[in-house]
A and B are shown apart, each in its own frame.
Chain A
Amino acid sequence: QKEVEQDPGPLSVPEGAIVSLNCTYSNSAFQYFMWYRQYSRKGPELLMYTYSSGNKEDGRFTAQVDKSSKYISLFIRDSQPSDSATYLCAPRGNRDDKIIFGKGTRLHILP
């Protein structure tokens, strides 16, 4: 079983829709959960950072972590064409240095 799994997409939704991006992981030691956004041929840009289970909201973005089912979600409200990018699920252990990235989900917002 892969450590971090994401549906690669592409996921195409109309502008203004709510987007749901999901990720599963296998390592129960993961404690920190990040979502990064990556535009083509650019570096990952940190979007959301949560610790352990629960929800976190930041503007149009909401991150949810369910450690019991090892399931992570990112919701984007009022999606914009500028949200078109690859979204990387990125968990990390409590004392680990490294981030384990998923392959990412390509999102395309249709104007």
Chain B
Amino acid sequence: EPEVTQTPSHQVTQMGQEVILRCVPISNHLYFYWYRQILGQKVEFLVSFYNNEISEKSEIFDDQFSVERPDGSNFTLKIRSTKLEDSAMYFCASSQGYNEQFFGPGTRLTVL
């Protein structure tokens, strides 16, 4: 069964450093998303991406964040200058259309 994959599973970085989180969405899906979950809190929407552009973003997704689909299979989230409060699980999701979103296993980001 096709699934969303994410790498790395755990990323440790120093405050102020740039990180890139990578995702491979399900191959015939057209819509891509990033969500995050701070430990003990709810899953929060960050950004959605369709047709090579951002279609919606939350207040969390400020200028420090960017997304890219560099080729036909990968979808990345970049945080330019990480802060302590960026420590969270980051989930990538994909969907065919305005229907079910399928989530990846997540990348745990720890900012020291």
Contacts and interface: CB of A to CB of B under 8 A. Distances in A.
Contacts of B45: 97-100
A44 B99 contact: no
Contact residues on B (Cβ < 8 Å of other chain), bracket:
20 to 34
B102 interface: yes
A34 B101 CA distance: 9
Interface in A82-97: 88, 94-97
A98 B99 contact: no
Chain A interface helix/strand/loop/mixed: loop
Interface of A: 32, 34, 36, 38, 41-46, 49, 88, 94-104
Given A43-B106, A98-B45, 18 more contacts: A38-B43, A42-B106, A43-B4, A43-B91, A43-B103, A43-B104, A44-B43, A44-B103, A49-B100, A88-B42, A94-B98, A95-B98, A97-B31, A97-B33, A97-B56, A98-B58, A103-B41, A104-B42
